[in-house]
Amino acid sequence: MKRGSFHISINYKSDPVVRVVAAGPNLAAQRTAAIDLLKEALAQDVAAMRAVVRRPESDPEAWGDIHALPRLSVSGQKRLIGLVRARILEGEDRIAAQNLDRLTYTKG
């Protein structure tokens, strides 16, 4: 888009607000575009969390807080990491399974 000597460059694929507005003046199309953005963000967040949780038990970035617990044996650390890992993965599975398409439906 050009106006005089001022040039505006918009990346329609990366700017979420522009993507929603560019979907058209139709509110249903904008809602669908917004929900698609939510789906993408949710999938990226779930993938990132799963990647962290699947790091080895020796990884200090992922499990350093558990390693730092006083009076917890190595076997206790491994057991606790296993429990935390399982709970996080269960939660991420629930998050990933959310039906965000239900947000496209309006009452009335």
Backbone angles phi, psi at 98, to 5 degrees: -60, 140
Domain interval for residue 81: 10-104
Sites in the chain below the pLDDT cut of 50: 1-8
pLDDT in tens, 10-27: 555 667 777 777 767 788
Please report whether residue 3 resides in a domain: no
Question: What pLDDT is recorded for position 32?
Answer: 85
* Amino acid identity, position 30: Q
Question: What pLDDT is recorded for position 6?
Answer: 47
Please report whether residue 65 resides in a domain: yes
Residue 43, CA distances (Å) to 14, 38, 106 in order: 16, 8, 24
Please report whether residue 86 resides in a domain: yes
Question: What pLDDT is recorded for position 18?
Answer: 72
Question: What pLDDT is recorded for position 5?
Answer: 47
- DSSP H helical ranges for the chain: 16-22, 27-53, 60-67, 74-96
Please report whether residue 4 resides in a domain: no
Work out how many domains the chain is built from and give that number.
Answer: 1
